[in-house]
Amino acid sequence: MTRIPVVDDYMATTLYTFLPTDNIHSAARTLLDKRLSGAPVVDRDERLVGMLSKKDCLQVVYNASYHQDWGGSVEEYMSADPETIESGTDIIEAADRFVRSRFRRFPVLSGGRLVGQISRTDILRALYDHWPAE
């Protein structure tokens, strides 16, 4: 029987991350410049504390244009307590999680520490690699 791949086989391990205290404008600019839809927010011990998405950054622009309030930290805009997936999870279970979730990516944790990120695209690639279309 063929081994079913796990998220570790397909996840991204080189990630752009933010600290909660980072300037929100710098973080938003990084997302735009690097063409990222979002990135993990970690504390000084590399523990995941949130996710910052372009959608979260829209609130910054809204505040600036409507309320004349331009500024703040990543912590003020990030989504706290994000959904995660554990290292070693097989791609079938991960695919099921994506089907049931509105999220496009999950941070991957091992022992509570951020070790990577898996996206819908990564899972789709894994499924096609493992079960090629005829």
**pLDDT tens digit string along 11-52?**
999 999 999 999 999 999 999 999 998 999 999 988 999 999
d(CA 80, CA 48): 9
Which CATH code of 3.10.580.10, 1.10.10.10, 3.40.250.10, 3.30.930.10 fits the domain covering 7-130? 3.10.580.10
Under 8 Å between Cβ of 54 and 31: yes
Q: How many residues does the chain have?
A: 134
3-state DSSP percent of the chain in helix, strand and coil, to 5:
40, 25, 35
| pLDDT on residue 67 | 63
The torsion of the CA quartet 20, 26, 28, 33, rounded to 10 degrees, works out to: -130
Q: What does the block give as tokens for 128?
A: 């096609």
Output the pLDDT for position 134. 64
Give this prediction's pTM.
0.85
Give the model confidence (pLDDT) of 63-121 as tens digits. 777 666 667 999 999 999 899 999 999 999 999 999 999 988 999 999 989 999 999 99
Residue 54: what residue type?
A: K
Q: Under a CB-based contact definition with an 8 Å cutoff, are residues 50 and 73 in contact?
A: no
